[in-house]
Amino acid sequence: MRYLILSDIHGNLQALDAVLADAKRLGYDRMICLGDLVGYGADPGAVIDRTLALDPVAIIRGNHDKVCAGIEPPILFNEVARKSIEWTASTISPAQLKALADLPKGPRVVFSGLEICHGAPFDEDYYVFESTDAAKALDAASERICLFGHTHLPALFATADDPIKADPRHADHLQLPARGPALVNVGSVGQPRDGDPRAAYGLLDLDKGELVMRRVDYDLTGARARILSVGLPPWLAIRLERGQ
């Protein structure tokens, strides 16, 4: 079984469409989504509908999803993020707001051997950036492979006695640890922050122990124009181009 892994789409329909076209060409069986369907981008309603129409085998909420749905206030958001999520909440339909509110909280066990979370297994809003954060997350994970998002940065963490068998900076086909744990972030579909503006996603085959990390060009000009046309803060368009 090959799983399409999507995370942090953030209302970027152009990026999502490019990712889905690329994934269809390569082939996959089911989809898993790690949250943050909305926020920042100009097409949140279409992204919600398009994502849920894929009938994900597992999906969880992100922090932007729950704030948009009114589950939590935007007290931790900066001004740009707050303006974006308030615009999003006022733009999408009541049914789409309910769909966001109904997204389950992570972490969630997909099946034996695979767990998903938005931030970390011990806190759905925690940012895992460094090895010390990853060590805490690996200790808290209930399954051997844990997929996470939230940082918008592709990352892979494993233990020294059973490492990942390739350098993710130079290879997109990675052999996962045969026995030991692994913590995996495939990056952001809609708003990468590693300096590469291309959309990021993953293809996971646990039977083969293989992870494919993909980067895809998309209609960046169109995505930026949409942000500006609906009156969202211009910085959101600028950062897309910079991969920030």
What is the domain-level CATH number for residue 210?
A: 3.60.21.10
Query: What's the domain range around 193?
Result: 2-105+170-175+184-242
Q: For residue 132, is it within any domain?
A: no
**Paired strand residues for 200:** 215
Q: pLDDT at position 171, please?
A: 60
As a residue count, the chain comes to: 244
- The answer to whether residue 52 sits within a structural domain is yes
The predicted pLDDT at position 43 comes to 98
- The answer to whether residue 147 is domain-embedded is no
Candidates 117, 115, 90; CA nearest to 103 is 117
Q: What residues contact residue 49 under an 8 Å CB cut-off, 6+ apart?
A: 96
- The verdict on residue 47 lying in a domain is yes
pTM of the predicted model as reported, rounded to 2 decimal places: 0.95
Residue in 111, 104, 178, 182 with CA at minimum distance from that of residue 141: 182
Residue 97 lies in a domain: yes
* Residue 87 forms part of a structural domain: yes
Say if residues 147 and 106 touch (Cβ distance below 8 Å).
no
Residue 146 domain-assigned (yes or no): no
Contacts of 16 (CB under 8 A, 6+ apart): 6, 9, 47, 50, 51, 189, 190, 199
pLDDT at site 169: 55
**C-alpha atoms less than 13 angstroms from C-alpha of 60 in its C-beta half-sphere:** 24
SS3 70: coil
For residues 200 and 117, give the distance between their C-alpha atoms in angstroms, rounded to a whole number: 17
- Structure confidence at residue 159 (pLDDT): 82
Check residue 168 and give its pLDDT: 56
Structurally, the chain folds into a number of domains equal to 1
List per-residue pLDDT tens for the chain, 244 residues long: 999 999 999 999 999 999 999 999 999 999 999 999 999 999 999 999 999 999 999 999 999 999 999 999 999 999 999 999 999 999 999 999 999 999 999 999 999 999 999 999 999 999 999 999 999 999 999 999 999 999 999 999 988 777 776 655 556 888 888 888 999 999 999 999 999 999 999 999 999 999 999 999 999 999 999 999 999 999 999 999 999 8
- Looking at the domain assignment, is residue 137 inside a domain? no
Q: Reduced to 3 states, what is the DSSP secondary structure of residue 3?
A: strand
pLDDT score, position 128: 97
